[in-house]
Structure 1
Amino acid sequence: MELNDLAIFQSVATHGSVSKAAIELSYVQSNVTARIKLLEKELQTPLFYRHKRGMTLNTEGKRLLEYSRDILSKVNEMKDVFSQASEPSGILDIGIVETVNALPVILSTYYRKYPNVELSLQAGVTEQLVQDVIDMKLDGAFVTGPIRHPLIDQIEVISEKLVLVSRSSSLSMEDITRKPLLLYKKGCGYRERLESWMRIEGIIPKQVMEFGTFGTIIGSVAAGIGITVIPESSVTDLAAKGTVHCHRLPQPYQNITTVFIRRNDAYLTGTLQSFIDEIIELTSLNVSSQ
């Protein structure tokens, strides 16, 4: 069995398609198909359900996927260990929730110190980013915390106040039930905090509209379409201009913490360690200046 066969298998499993895996890996489809069949022959078991829409992992395939992830991550870890340079370099895959106000400062300061590091950023909601870190698809992520998982280490980055944001300067319970809620998709930490409060209060929203970006949400709020929930620091400038207005949630729902997470049993490269050190340094400076 070749390591490349596991990489091919993992790509087909991820995409559910030989053709998409072939495009990702720059192989011809027949080669991908042949390698999957060879892998199944070697393991003496089918790994996929084959159907018109593509390929879906069966039970044995799901078991192999876990092994393949562990094996390939260990191989990559080994390469990292033996290729570590004195100066941080390479690619850091970092996940972010869009409204982390401190993030531009952290990224720009780090990049100035370590120009040989390429920062690859993936925006998403907390739930998915946590899973991507656990699956080792990301080196780390800035998410809404705290995160309680045995495989996750976390560093507190910033504590903020969560607010309801509307176009109107006043906001009543009746307004919340009559106006659409403009939210990120399920898995967003801010949305979960708002929904917890609404359940306790027995508030049933008229409508929930899901958006993928902060810009679209806040633009829609400014246009009077509905209400959203985000950290207060994300709309400071707009609120100062009177474009939108902020309304505090009651305790304990208003306090929100952003944390940086990483998988605690993954090899900690010098590059990631330098990134974590930068977060800790900037965080301590912010605390001491308050």
Structure 2
Amino acid sequence: MSTLQQIYDVILQGKRNEVEALVKQALDEGQTATAIIEQALRPAMDEVGERFSRAEFFLPDLILAAEATKRATAFLRPLLADGSAASRQETIVIGTVQGDLHDIGKNLVVATLEGTGYRVVDLGVDVAPEKFVEAVRQHNPAVVGFSALLSTTMVNIPRTIDALREAGLRDGRLLAVGGAPVTQRNADEWQVEIYAADAGHVLEAGWSNVGYGQYVILDHGNGYRTLYAHMSVIIARRGQAVEKGTKIGLIGSTGRSTGPHLHFEVYKNGVLQNPFHYLP
């Protein structure tokens, strides 16, 4: 069994105390940090997500796998030079909003993203709106994530979004909101928009019978198509021409969904691609 396969297996098993030794062994064998991420860590976390969605894995399994992946990524990060696969990923800024000290869910998201090679700027807990503004201005992220566990602190999500808007930093980036009290109504009220990843035209817009709920498919030419699913509101219309950054809908939880979010897919000639390479 190859060392990369062993890394894949220990991630699935959540053996966080074994993963660093295997990563070091793979490096000693001549594997690059990027190869370890792309051929072992990322596929392992993809499989964890699939098993979780099929109820074959549960929250403790997800947490252990994410922690193991985070340890491996922390070990590899100093070896990822500019121009590597990881350094080309879009940046994500995330934090728990002001007044809230809960971070288990946020940390799980951070570990999962970092474990699959993405650059995450974690602002921690009790993050004031001005700190979000400062981080967005400094790092220019493609995505900004807001977490809140309490209904009393959830009100600081729209306040922080307003702070970004007032600073001229809201447009052109995706927003992600989450936490136990966050509902579809909240996402609608906060106008968490969905934007076209690139110019093209609307190929499909409507209701999906395969679990996507309200969805839009854009055709960008040259074999590229993007899918945006679980929308609460569809703004784009079939046949409409769109530019990169055109608002096409609002975040929702329609179809087979456990909460408000955007399901985003990129296809090239019918083959599913890594979507982070195509974020606006």
TM-score normalised by the shorter chain: which range applies?
A: under 0.3
Q: Whose helix fraction is larger, Structure 1's or Structure 2's? A: 1
Scaled by the length of structure 1, the TM-score of the pair is 0.26
Relative CO higher for 1 or 2, CA cutoff 8 Å, sep ≥ 6? Answer: 1
Length-normalised TM-score, structure 2: 0.26
